[in-house]
Each structure stands twice: as C-alpha cells, then as structure tokens.
Amino acid sequence: MERGRRQHVKVTVVRSGGFAGIERRGEADTATDPVLGELVDRVDLGALRPPAPGADRFMYEIDVGGRTAVVDEAQLSGPLRQLVDRVLSAA
C-alpha cells in the first residue's frame, strides 16, 4: 500500500497451543488504531516460513486483510511481535 493512502484493514490473531492448549483470539482495525496501520505496513506475511513441528509451544494464525500466515512463537520478533501483541491486547 502507498503511504498516506492506507486502506482500513482488519487484523485477526489466534494464538493456540502451548502446554494448556487454550486458544486466545483478538481483532483490531487500522481504522481505529493508526499504530496498527504502521505495523501492518512493516510486516510481510508472504515472507514468513511455515513453522517446524514441535510440542507445547504457541502457534499464531495471523490474518491481515484476508492474507494469512501461521507462525510459532520463535518466529515472532520485531514488527510482527508488536502487531501480534497489539491485537491480542485489544481483545
């Protein structure tokens, strides 16, 4: 997206797995959260690799305006970590 012409995007994050297997879900929209919009601009879901198999760790399904990716907790860093934390804290 071009800077200054950002569309409103809904972002959904579903965290599952971990030792207890409890699911946590959050949704937010760039229309009401401009910081989220900046993070969306900095995250490239297409560049993320599928997670390696493993037990007892959190998995994150991230949907940004219809584009989705699944990552594990070890893959969360930088803007992706900030985006996930922001959306889950809005829940």
pLDDT digits (tens, 9 = 90+) for 35-68: 999 999 999 999 999 888 777 789 999 999 999 9
Q: What's the predicted TM-score (pTM) here?
A: 0.86
Two structure tokens written together for 82: 């900030």
SS3 62: strand
Looking at the DSSP assignment, which residues form a beta bridge with residue 3? none
CA atoms within a 13 Å half-sphere pointing along the CA-CB vector of 87: 28
Of 12, 41, 42, 43, the closest CA to residue 27 belongs to: 12
Q: What percentage of residues in the chain have a pLDDT greater than 70?
A: 93
